[in-house]
Structure formats: C-alpha cells, structure tokens
Structure 1
Amino acid sequence: MKVATRRAQARAATRRASVRARLPGNTPGVRGLRRAFVALAACGALASGAGAHADELTGTLKKIHDDGTIALGVREASIPFSYFDGKRTVGYSQAIAMEIVDEIRKTLGMPQLRVHEVTVTSSNRTPMLLNNQIDFECGSTTHTVERENVAAFSNSFFQYAVRMIARNNSGISDFADLAGKPVVTTAGTSDERLLRSLNTDKRLNMRISSARDHQEAFSALKDGRAVAFVMDEPIVYGFKATDPHPDEFVVTGTPLGYEVYACMFRKGDEPFRALVNRVIARSQTSGDAERLYRQWFTQPIPPYGINLNFPLSDANRALFAHPNDRALD
C-alpha cells in the first residue's frame, strides 16, 4: 500500500470520528444519517489526498508515476558526458540526469522510484523518446531549431565548437585539407549535417561516411579508413585523452559552428520542462555546475584516471551565469 494512500485513509478515519462525535442519538434514522455523513466524509478525505495529486499529473510525470520506473536514455561512449566505465554509466551529463531523477522522486513523493537505463545512439534516441521507450535523456544531444519540431529541450548544460581529430602526421590542420579524402562522422548528429553542407558549399568532394556511434567513428580514424573524425570538440578531446597513444592525435580545424547540449524530452510537457530546468538552473547559479565541470573535465576520470585538461570556457561560464534553453543554430 502506498504511503500517500495510507495517509488519505487516516484522514478519512479522523473525519469519520469527527462526524460520529457530532451526530446525536442512536435511533435507526439517526444511524442511517450517520452512515451517510461518514461515507461523504470519507469520500471528501480521499478526494483531497493522494488521489487528487495523482489525478493532477500529466505527461511524463504521470507516465513515470504509473510505471513506477524512470526510463533514462544513456550513451555507451560519449566521454566524458555519458559512458559506460566497465561497471556503470557515468559522466558529466549523467550526473545531471541523476539530479533530475532525484527531483522527480521528491516531486512524486516516491523515494524508491527505480531507474531503468536504456542505451541509445545518435540515430535512435529521438525515435525511442517519441515511442515512449525512454522518458528523457541527458547525454550529448545537440539542441537545434530543426529538432524542436519533434522534441523539447531543457536549459543548455554545455556549449562547444564543432571541430575534428586527425593523426599528428597526416598534414591535416583545417577542413580544406580534407578535400577528396575519406572523412567520418557520427550518423544522426548535427555535425553530420554541418559536414555535408560544407562539402557541398565548398565542393570539397570529401568521401563522408557516417558511423553508428562515436566509438565506431573513432575506430575508423584509427584503422586508417578515414583521415579525420568530425565531431563535437569535447567528444574528440575525450577520445584523444583516453587513447593509449594520445600524442598520435591532434584536435584541429576552424570551428564549423558553435552548439549546445541539452536534455531532451517530449514536446508539450510544461510540468516536466519546468522540473528539469529548475534543476539545471539551480545547479548552474549555485556554483554546483562549475564544480561538476571541474570533476569531469580537469581531473582524472574513470576508468583509467585520464585527465582531459579541458578548462571551463568563457562561453560555458556565461551560460552558467545566465541559464537558458536557446538553440545556437
């Protein structure tokens, strides 16, 4: 039996006792009247208790309440945002996701609410959200104006540039050097769109391939199937730092653009949007977000104790000072 239901029944019992105390006599007519008053009192108590609270829930919060589970989308290899360290899912944005989970538990009054982690990729995360296979995800998803047509986004939690990683001895320093060469990116990302637009606009004739996920894309670079991996700057820095031979790679290129990461959830769900934004804004303006950033970008991270040495940028510092949910494209 749920705690909220027990509380509602206790209030009903108190109200019944109060009604009995006020009803005089013990005649059959009075006893019938007493039973009627007691029934009405009980209904009133339940209507003003947990039942009303549950009935007021809508959208994602109602789904989570009814399911008794939060379906959280997570990534396998978006270092250092959301990735599997050999034991569990960890990372900068995973920590933000768990803060949101805690807020959901408090809001619903369900401290033992379970979390079911569902692995998503850049290609399937949106369909899985729309099909109710996940309730929300905070990985490395770019908030773009185009994506607002199908999903909703929280306050941004990270701003970055789109660049590339290449081998040190490749002679590649900027995107013009990729003309006529094989280049890899990750399918379903905003980076893929930017790269293909660049290829068309500048007539570079790059041979672009789109990998299933970031790990597969970086493997294509390492195996020589591509001369560069175009992706979000912090992602490629993560692969460089965690590779056994980091000095063999360089992050380079004039930024193709600047974008922001945000949590993604279903459109038209204002109560859930307000909850998520409240958590992110509170963290950013309190200084907690900057401490979390230092933990994942300037200190050793699991599983190998590698330090990305990626200091907080002025753009991210400004974002933390003024939380917002604006796309940059």
Structure 2
Amino acid sequence: MSFSVCRALIVFGSLLLSSELAAQGPTLGTLDVIRHRGSILLGYSEDAMPFSHLDGSDQPVGFSIDLCRQVTEAIKTRLARPDLKVFHLTTNDASRQVMLESGGIDLHCGNSVNTVQKQRSVAFSVTTYVATVQALTRKDLGIASLSDMNGKTIATRAGSTATVMVKAAADRRGVAANFRVDRDDAETLRTLLNGRAEIVALSDVSLRRLLLAAPATAGDTLTLLTENYGFEPHGLEFRRQDPSFKRLIDETLVSLMKSGEFARLYHRWFASPIPPTGVNFDLPMGETLKQLSMTPNDRGI
C-alpha cells in the first residue's frame, strides 16, 4: 500500500472518529469507535528516544511503542477483531492534546509526564516510567551540587516541570540561582556550551539524550550531577471520561508488570543498546518504578 493511500485512510479514520464522537456524545466510547472504524490510531513522537523514535527503516520503535503494541493486541482480543488496522501518526507537544481531544488519535505512545493540570484535559494510564530531574554542567566550572549554583544561570525547557522542581529545591536550600527557559532540549545544550548558562536541568532521560547526541568533543567537557531534584511520573495518554478504555489499558499494563514482561521491555530500551545506532541510555529501573510495578497507580504531580 502506498504512502498516499495510507495517509488517506488515516485522515478518513480521524474524520470519522471525530464525527461519530460529536454525533454520539459521551455514549460512544473509544472501543466502539475503533470497532466501527476498523482501525486504531496511535500517536507518537519521533524524537522521544527511547520512548518513541524512528528506526533505520523509518518505523516507530521504543518502550512506549512496545507498550502500545500490547494494548492494541488487547483491543483486538476484546473486540474479537484481529483484522483491525494499526496506524501511527506523528505528534508534538503542541498537537498531542488537540489530536487526543478531537479524535485524531486514540492513544498516545510517547514520553508524557502525568500532571494534575494535564488530567483536566486528558487521561493517563498507570505509571510506566518515573523520571528524576537532574542537572548537566561543564566540568571546568567546578559545580558538584545545587549548593554550588548560587548566582549561576540554570537553563530549562519551555513547558518542563523541571523548572518548578529545581526552583523549589533551590528555595529550600537558600540558593539564589537565575533561570532561563529555552525553546527545546537542544537549545538548552547550546546555551550551556555557549556559556549563556552554567547548568541545564531536565529529566534524567532528556539529559542522557542530549549527551548521546552531543558531538564527542562537547560530550567530553560535560558532567551529569547525581543529585535528584524531583520526580516525574509518565504514562500513556488517551481521552478522558472513557472508563472502559482506561480499564483495558491499565489491565494490560498491570498484567505486563505482574508477568515480568514490563521489566524485560524496560531493560531492552533503557539499559541495552537500541536501534538504529546502538546507543545505551544506561538507566536501570529505579526503586520507585519497581515499587509502582508492584502497586500500580495513575497519580500525577
């Protein structure tokens, strides 16, 4: 099937879902829409390694992609529709919520931080990852902890919860740091390397993504501090007020956690070489996520 035909099918499915939701209101759940449409629409981010990204064949892969694959199999079983088509649509921070609310996608498979504010617009699965907020700095600056950041400039990304967490940690310690908010993760790294900031504060996985993508010469000059300034629970995102769909998603994920498959998938994507280049994030599962795998919940921050 050609790309243009696939794209036409996806657009048609999205429009059909939106029109059905508008016509049926809250009585028509996502599972009913998927049954009538004959396809599942999954959103993902192309630059959210190792949650979701493109492999060497431009196919979406990653930890969240694998979790969503398990959910889609559960949907096929629940609906007795093994013939359901699965389409992947790219999203970004600006489009994700709109696509979920409008019916452009049924489920988002990326690195979505679960916050109380976001829960007013979308729903989250049980927690699938717990990020720690950390700091990246240049080795030559002699910064070893938050206490050394007094009077220094800390760069964070627009929309990141890291800003609030690091500011709160600085206030608790009486550290008077300056903060600047950059457009995206890549810009925070340029800010650090160009000397416009002495520290970058982001989630552990975001900082490792920057280090892995940085030129070798730059990487040799940087150091990742071991201090943690807060925690960010992640989960799969979908539409609110759809208890049947949420129950199926959560039951699928909890089953993976109980069977040990969740831990295996986690190790594959966070603590092993991954495609397309074989990079390793070297992030073994932390104690918080291990505990949440035994007692899952969907609480946000």
Q: TM-score range by the shorter chain?
A: 0.7 to 0.9
Q: Tell me, which stretches of 5 or more residues in structure 2 are unaligned?
A: 1-26
- Equivalent pairs: percent with the same residue? 29
Deviations along 1:57-107, whole A, 9 cap, x unmatched?
832223333443333221122221122345222211221122212222332
What is the CA-CA distance between 1:244 and the residue it aligns to?
A: 4.0
Deviations along 1:240-295, whole A, 9 cap, x unmatched?
24434244322215322122111111111101101110111011110001111111
Instruction: Please say if 1:113 is aligned against 2:85.
Output: yes
Q: Which residue of 2 aligns with 1:188?
A: 159
Question: What secondary structure sits across from 2:30 in the alignment?
Answer: helix
The question of whether the paired residues in 2 share the 8 Å contact of 1:199 and 1:206 is answered with no
Q: Which residue of 2 aligns with 1:38?
A: none
Q: Which residue of 2 aligns with 1:249?
A: 222
- The one-letter code matched in structure 2 to 1:119 is T
- The one-letter code matched in structure 2 to 1:235 is S
What is the CA-CA distance between 1:300 and the residue it aligns to?
A: 0.9
TM-score (norm 2): 0.79
Match of 1:129 among 97, 100, 103: 100
Deviations along 1:119-171, whole A, 9 cap, x unmatched?
222x4432332233332213111112332222211111112311122222232
Q: Which residue of 1 aligns with 2:4?
A: none
Instruction: Please say if 1:281 is aligned against 2:251.
Output: no
- The one-letter code matched in structure 2 to 1:58 is L
Q: Tell me, which stretches of 5 or more residues in structure 1 are unaligned?
A: 1-56
Q: Which residue of 2 aligns with 1:62?
A: 32
Q: Which residue of 2 aligns with 1:268?
A: 241
CA distance in 1, matches of 2:95, 2:157: 12
- The one-letter code matched in structure 1 to 2:178 is M
**C-alpha RMSD over aligned residues:** 2.7
CA distance in 2, matches of 1:63, 1:218: 43
Question: What secondary structure sits across from 1:156 in the alignment?
Answer: coil
CA distance in 2, matches of 1:252, 1:295: 25
Instruction: Please say if 1:169 is aligned against 2:140.
Output: yes
Instruction: Please say if 1:304 is aligned against 2:277.
Output: yes
CA distance in 1, matches of 2:247, 2:291: 21
Q: Which residue of 1 aligns with 2:181?
A: 209
Give matches, 1:18-97, under 5 Å: 58-86=28-56, 87-97=58-68
Q: Which has the higher contact order (CA 8 A, sep 6+)?
A: 2
What is the CA-CA distance between 1:112 and the residue it aligns to?
A: 3.6
Instruction: Please say if 1:317 is aligned against 2:287.
Output: no
Question: What secondary structure sits across from 1:295 in the alignment?
Answer: helix
Change (3 A) 1:130 1:289: same
Question: What secondary structure sits across from 1:63 in the alignment?
Answer: helix
Instruction: Please say if 1:240 is aligned against 2:211.
Output: yes
CA distance in 2, matches of 1:292, 1:75: 19
What is the CA-CA distance between 1:115 and the residue it aligns to?
A: 1.1
Q: Which residue of 2 aligns with 1:18?
A: none
Matched residues, number: 271
CA distance in 2, matches of 1:286, 1:78: 26
Question: What secondary structure sits across from 2:131 in the alignment?
Answer: strand
Higher mean C-alpha displacement, 85-94 vs 279-288: 85-94
Change (3 A) 1:218 1:72: farther
Question: What secondary structure sits across from 2:281 in the alignment?
Answer: coil
- The one-letter code matched in structure 2 to 1:63 is V
Q: Which residue of 1 aligns with 2:197?
A: 226
CA distance in 1, matches of 2:150, 2:104: 40
